[in-house]
Every structure is written in C-alpha cells, then in structure tokens.
C-alpha cells in the first residue's frame, strides 16, 4: 500500500556537516547537476544564513540553470549578490549573472537575440569594470571575464539595438 503524505518536511542539516556539504555542492555543479547543488546550498543556508561560500555556490547553481526548463530566477541570483560581504565579489558575480543571461539569450530563436545578448554582455562588462577597480591582489578574474564578453560580442556579431530607447534585456529573461 502506498502512503500519501499531506505535507512533506525538509530534514535539517547538522552544522557539523556543512564543510562536507559545501564540497558536495561544488561537486554536483562540476557534474552539471545544478539543481542538486542548489538544493544542498539551500540546506546549508537554512542552518547558516550568511555562509558566504554557500551563497556563491547558490548563485552559480542558479545561473547554471538560466535558459533551462525550470526558469531560474535572475532576481533571486541578483538578490543573493547583495548578501555577499565582499564588495569585489558583489560586483564580479553581478557581472557573471549578466554574462550567463547573455549566453542563455543566445540559445533562443527570438529575432532580437543579437540585441538582447549584447545588452546583457555590456551590463556584465560594466560590473566587471567595477570589480576590476577593487580586485584583490593577483586576481585578474574580472579582466578575464571582460575579455570573454568582448570575444563573445565579436564572435556572435552582437550589436546594440537600433531602436532609440534600446532593448530592455531584463524583460526578456
């Protein structure tokens, strides 16, 4: 006989298991299983609401899903950036969110994709510029991401919208 549960409950994660859970979250992201990584990060954050590594991994897991069926939340990822305590990381990961939105846009068949993706890449580049100005010593990640955006704009022949008021890319997520 099958039992039906009216309300399933999440089980709490023990505080002692958080270091291993963080390793698992990273592992699942590398295995291209972002939903599993996202779930683990949420479990960690239910125990330690300000765990910076869990917040970073959650941002990455959410953005790994941009363009997927689930419809990952740009707004949530952006909000998580404000929970980061490091100003460089706030700017850098905001750039990463925009860059991943651009890549997700390129997978669609909308006639305005070249404009939408361009605007997302340009937004990313603005965040990377801000991050570059305050980067930690020997950390040129923002420069590397900036260059990747430039190459993508060139490779895909992206361009700004010819419309006077430009494309509003965030309305097309």
The whole-number pLDDT of residue 154 equals 98
What DSSP string describes 114-173?
HHHHHHHHHHHHHHHHHHHHTPPTT--HHHHHHHHHHHHHHHTT----SSTT---GGGG-
- Whether the Cβ atoms of residue 13 and residue 21 lie closer than 8 Å to each other: yes
The whole-number pLDDT of residue 111 equals 86
The whole-number pLDDT of residue 171 equals 47
- Stated pTM of the model: 0.89
The whole-number pLDDT of residue 7 equals 81
The whole-number pLDDT of residue 173 equals 45
The whole-number pLDDT of residue 89 equals 98
Count other C-beta atoms under 10 Å from residue 118's C-beta: 25
- Whether the Cβ atoms of residue 118 and residue 99 lie closer than 8 Å to each other: no
Exposure of 114 in the CB half-sphere (CA atoms within 13 A)? 11
- What are the residue ranges spanned by the domains of the chain? 17-75, 86-173
- Whether the Cβ atoms of residue 55 and residue 33 lie closer than 8 Å to each other: no
Q: Taking the chain (173 residues) in consecutive chunks of 10 residues, what is each chunk's mean pLDDT?
A: 73 97 98 97 98 98 86 88 98 98 93 94 98 97 98 97 64 48
> In a 3-state reduction of DSSP, which class is residue 6?
coil
The whole-number pLDDT of residue 166 equals 58
The whole-number pLDDT of residue 71 equals 59
The whole-number pLDDT of residue 165 equals 62
């Amino acid at each position: 006989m099958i039992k039906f549960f009216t309300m399933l409950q999440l089980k709490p994660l023990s505080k002692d298991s958080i270091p291993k859970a963080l390793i698992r979250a990273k592992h699942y992201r590398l295995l291209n299983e972002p939903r599993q990584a996202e779930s683990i990060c949420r479990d960690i954050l239910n125990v330690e609401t300000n765990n910076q590594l869990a917040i970073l991994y959650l941002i990455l897991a959410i953005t790994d899903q941009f363009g997927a069926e689930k419809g990952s939340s740009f707004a949530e990822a952006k909000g998580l950036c404000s929970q980061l305590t490091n100003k460089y990381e706030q700017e850098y990961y905001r750039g990463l969110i925009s860059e991943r939105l651009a890549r997700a846009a390129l997978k669609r068949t909308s006639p305005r994709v070249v404009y939408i993706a361009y605007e997302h890449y340009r937004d990313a580049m603005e965040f990377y510029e801000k991050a570059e100005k305050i980067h930690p010593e020997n950390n040129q990640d923002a420069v590397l991401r900036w260059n990747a955006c430039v190459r993508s704009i060139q490779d895909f022949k992206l361009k700004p919208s010819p419309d006077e008021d430009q494309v509003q890319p965030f309305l097309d997520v």
